[in-house]
Amino acid sequence: MGSFRDTLDFRALRFAVAFPVLLAAGFVVCALMLRNDLPNPVAVMWNADGGSSFAPFGAYAAGGAALIALSGWVTFIQAVPLSRPVVMRRIMMGVGLMTSLFMTTVLAAGLVGQSGVSDARLSHVDPIILAMGSGAALALGIVMMFAFKPDPRWTPEDDAALQSELRLLEDPDLARDSLRLWVHARSSVFVMIIVSALFPAALIAVVVPWLGALVAVAAVVGAGFLFARVRADRGGLQVFAGGILRVLAVPAVDIATAAPAQVKAADFGGWGWRHHDDATAMLVSSGPAVVVRKLNGRRIALSAGTQDSADKLAEILNRAARRAHTDGQPQQPG
C-alpha cells in the first residue's frame, strides 16, 4: 500500500474528487431555486424551433449533476499519477477545470432558457449564460494550468544532476574543461535554400505532389547539415550534424594537437560533413574553426562559430589530450 501511495499526488487527488462534487451540488441547489419558474417536463435537447426532447425536472437535475461529476473526475484524474510528465499533469488539471465548468455552463444555460416559459417546446438555450460561462471556463482552466504546482519528487534527472555537482566539488576544474556550443551557417545561406529549393518545391507540388515533397525534404536535410552541435570535455570531442547525427567522435587519447584557425570550406571539400584527402571536416561556413591533428596524422576540422569559441575549444582539447596521455588511460568522449 505504501508503494501505491508513493505513485499518487494526494493533494491533486483530493481536489480532483472534491471539486466536481461541490460543483455538481451547487448546480443542483441553483436548479432547485429555479424549480417554480420551469415548465414540467423540462427540455433536455433543442433544435431551431425549440425543445425537442424532454425529461422530468428531477432527472435533469440528477443527470446533470452526475455528468458534471463524471466529466470532471475522468479529466482531473489524469493529473494525479506522479509518473506523468509535469507539463502533462498541469495541462490535464486545467482541462479538467475547463470540462467541469463548461458542462455546468451548458446545463445551467438550458435551465435559464426555460425559466418563465410555460411550455418547454418554446424554450431555447440561453446564449448569454452559455457565452459567459464558456469564456470563464476557458480562462479559469488556463489559470489553473499555470497555478497548479505538482508535488516535487526526486527523479533520475535529479540523481544525474547530483552526481554532476559532486564531481564538480571533487574537481573544480572539470567545468573549465567542458564546452557545449552550436554552430550554424549564415542566415543568407538559409534564405538561398528557401528561394532555390522550397519555393520551386511548392510549385512542383501543384503538379506532382510527391516530387515536390521529395524536393522539400531534400532541402530540409541539406539545411540540417549546416547546423552542428559540438561537445568537448576531458573525454574528447564529439560533433553532431543537425544536433542529432553524430558525425565525428575523437577520444582525447587520439589527439596530438588542436589549434584555432581561419579556414575556407573549399579547402576541405565544402560545407557540411566531408572527407577530403587526409582530413575529415564538419564545416558550416568559412571562418573561425578548430583544426585537430590526430596521432595517426589525420586532421579534423570543425566550425567554431566565433574566434573566442575557437580559442576556448582548442584549449580544452589540448588540456584533455595532455591529461589522457599523462594518465595513460583513454577516456570515452562525452
Residue 66 has pLDDT above 90, yes or no: yes
* Residue 218, in any domain of the structure: no
3 state DSSP class of 108: helix
pLDDT the model gives residue 152: 64
Query: In CATH, what number is assigned to the domain containing residue 258?
Result: 2.30.29.30
Number of other CB atoms surrounding residue 266 within 10 Å: 11
What does the pLDDT average to over 307-328?
Answer: 84
- Is the separation of the CB atoms in 251 and 323 below 8 Å? no
Q: Are residues 141 and 180 in the same domain?
A: no
Please check whether residues 130 and 60 belong to one and the same domain: yes
Structure confidence at residue 1 (pLDDT) = 43
Residue pair 30/133 in contact by the 8 Å Cβ criterion:
no
Instruction: Give the amino acid at 34.
Output: L
Asked if residue 71 and residue 181 are part of one domain, the reply reads: no
Q: Distance (Å, rounded) from C-alpha 5 to C-alpha 151? A: 13
Instruction: Please say if the pLDDT value at position 24 is more than 70.
Output: yes
> In the prediction, which pLDDT does 185 show?
81
Q: Are residues 45 and 137 in the same domain?
A: yes
- In this structure, the answer to whether residues 42 and 80 fall within a common structural domain is yes
Do 181 and 309 lie in one domain? The reply is yes
Structural domain contains residue 63 = yes
Q: What is the DSSP letter of 81?
A: B
Are residues 240 and 127 part of one domain?
A: no
Q: Provide the pLDDT confidence category of residue 4 given band limits of 50, 70 and 90.
A: low
pLDDT, mean of residues 274-293: 84
In a domain, 158, yes or no: no
18 and 78 co-located in one domain: yes
- Classified as helix, coil or strand, 272 is strand
Strand-by-strand arrangement of the 179-184 sheet: 179-184, 227-233, 236-241, 245-251
Residue ranges making up the domain that contains 245: 172-185+226-327
**Statement to judge: residues 10 and 92 lie in one domain:** yes
Collect all residues with Cβ–Cβ distance below 8 Å to 189 and sequence separation of at least 6.
226, 285
Residue 5, pLDDT score = 67
Is 159 within a domain? no
Range in 63-67, 140-144, 149-153, 318-322 with the lowest mean pLDDT: 149-153
Give the pLDDT band (50/70/90) at residue 325: confident
Is residue 155 in a domain? no
Name the average pLDDT for the chain.
Answer: 84
Judge whether residue 331 has pLDDT over 80.
no
Terminal Cα-to-Cα distance of the chain (whole angstroms)? 41
What residues form DSSP beta bridges with 106? Answer: none
The answer to whether residue 156 sits within a structural domain is no
pLDDT band at 67 (very low <50, low <70, confident <90, very high): very high
What is 170-182 written as a DSSP string? H-GGGGGG-EEEE
Residue 326 contacts by C-beta under 8 Å, 6 or more apart in sequence?
none
Q: Is residue 194 assigned to a domain?
A: no
Count CB atoms within 10 A of the CB of residue 261. 15
Alpha helix ranges (H) inside the chain: 2-5, 10-34, 57-76, 86-114, 127-147, 156-170, 187-193, 199-207, 209-224, 307-327
> What is this structure's pTM?
0.49
Alpha helices by DSSP H, 184-300: 187-193, 199-207, 209-224
Kindly indicate the confidence band of residue 206, based on its pLDDT and cuts at 50, 70 and 90. Answer: confident
Same-domain status, 41 and 91:
yes
**Looking at residues 190-203, what average pLDDT do you find?**
80
Query: Which positions ≥6 away from 167 have C-beta within 8 Å?
Result: 174
Please count the structural domains in the chain. 2
Q: Are residues 236 and 142 both part of a single domain?
A: no
pLDDT at 244 over 60: yes
Please say whether the beta carbons of 72 and 145 come within 8 A: no
C-alpha cell at 104: 455546468
* Same domain? 274 vs 138: no
| Strand partners for 46 | 51
